[in-house]
Amino acid sequence: MLDIKRIRQEPEVVQNLLNRRSSEYQIQEILDLNERQRQLESARSRLKARSNEISKEIGQKIQSGLSPESEQVQKIKEESNQIKQQINELEPQERDLKTQIQNLLLSLPNLPSESTPVGEDETENVEVRRWGDGYLPENSEKLLPHWEIGEKLGILEFSRAVKVAQSRFVNLIGMGAALERALIRFMLDQQIAAGYLEVMPPVLINSQSLTGTGQLPKFAEESFQCNNDDLWLSPTAEVPVTNLYRDEVLDASQLPIYHCAYTPCFRREAGSYGKDTRGLIRLHQFNKVELVKLVRPEKSAEEHEAIVQNAEAILQALKLPYRVMELCTGDLGFGAAKCYDLEVWLPSSQAYREISSCSNFTDFQARRANIRFKQANKKGTEFVHTLNGSGLAIGRTMAAILENYQQPDGTVNIPEALHPYLKQTVIRES
């Protein structure tokens, strides 16, 4: 959530930054409502001050010997009652204005950082670097897509998953399930070794948690809701892990906080029908290892680069070709001030596809979730900066392995980094 004080004090700066995202985001209504709310607050404060004065006057009159029923005292009491009535009328108006302002603030995205490239859509994202061109498989144009490979090997099963659930679900069979488990363990081991503390959070989360990280209210249609409870299926471990610290004031000595978490993730993928309808790229349920950081504001840019490197390390260990893309303002996620996407090479489509998104949210999520920290020698508190990144999406990693490691005889080699986690080095037809 944006800082209302900054909106009020630097309206042109805030509006110009929002315009880099889209002209649809406007702050004038917030400014108008905030001005009305502040006028009401000022009027209410004056009335309360006068009410306190009257209470003292009544006490003084009675102490001087006047009867509480005297005309003078009754006249003052009448003024007091009128003031209380005015206050009672103002308070709900003020509450209503605050609610309207809060709802409008919740609908605004984060401000892009000054270093985020300006652009209208994904076509204007900026490539930062590539890695692993030497690992590109030969004769890529003749290679099969991962869903065909998986079905031929008997490790991916889509038709029965439709029977059990609906489309965009998958059954992992035999070595498919084993490879998934191996990837989860490998990724967690790597990130724990890099300094992250593992968390296994709830995957049913409440509305306040989704609001805290920015999924609600704007993206309610993207998530699965449990209608009989205030609970939702988690779309990403970012939500429960960040909200572990909601409404807390941390000691500065606790920062930085690094967490990694494996969870199943659930997304409706609303608005994406017709895209990636086959295979593992866009499922309603998928597994992911997530990286989450809570850091001091002055460290967040440095920590952002580090979290990207932590995600890259997985792809490099698996020897999967990828590139790093810096997202432009028009393609930036709702809560991010700056974001890098890691895109892995999929030979069947002759294209790089997103496998990790690493975002710096600055204080945007911390304001929504009220996560602050206090330094020993300073008065007051500050909002932490939050960051997260996929480390990585498991299904997309499996898709990349199947396609990049497929062999002419139909088998798939298992990356060397996973050999300690599996009892075999090649996946053959079962």
Catalytic residues: 267, 282, 354, 357, 396
Report which residue type is found at 39.
Q
Provide the CA 410 distance to its chain's centre, in angstroms: 40
Residue of 123, 136, 390, 393 whose CA lies nearest to 276: 393
Decide if 399 contacts 387 (C-beta within 8 A). Answer: no
Dihedral sign of CA atoms 142, 130, 121, 355 in order: positive
Residue spans of alpha helices (H) in 283-370: 300-317, 364-369
Helix (H) or strand (E) holding 97: helix 71-107
The separation between the first and the last C-alpha atoms of the chain, rounded to the nearest angstrom, is 52
Decide if 293 contacts 386 (C-beta within 8 A). Answer: yes
Kindly state the DSSP code that residue 144 receives in the 8-state scheme: P
Cis amide leading into 217 (omega within 30): yes
Cis amide leading into 256 (omega within 30): yes
Residue 312 contacts by C-beta under 8 Å, 6 or more apart in sequence?
A: 131, 322, 324, 342
**Count of positions (residues) in the chain:** 430
Looking only at the bridges linking them, the beta strands covering 126-131 and 322-326 are antiparallel
Enter the tokens of residue 186: 């490998």
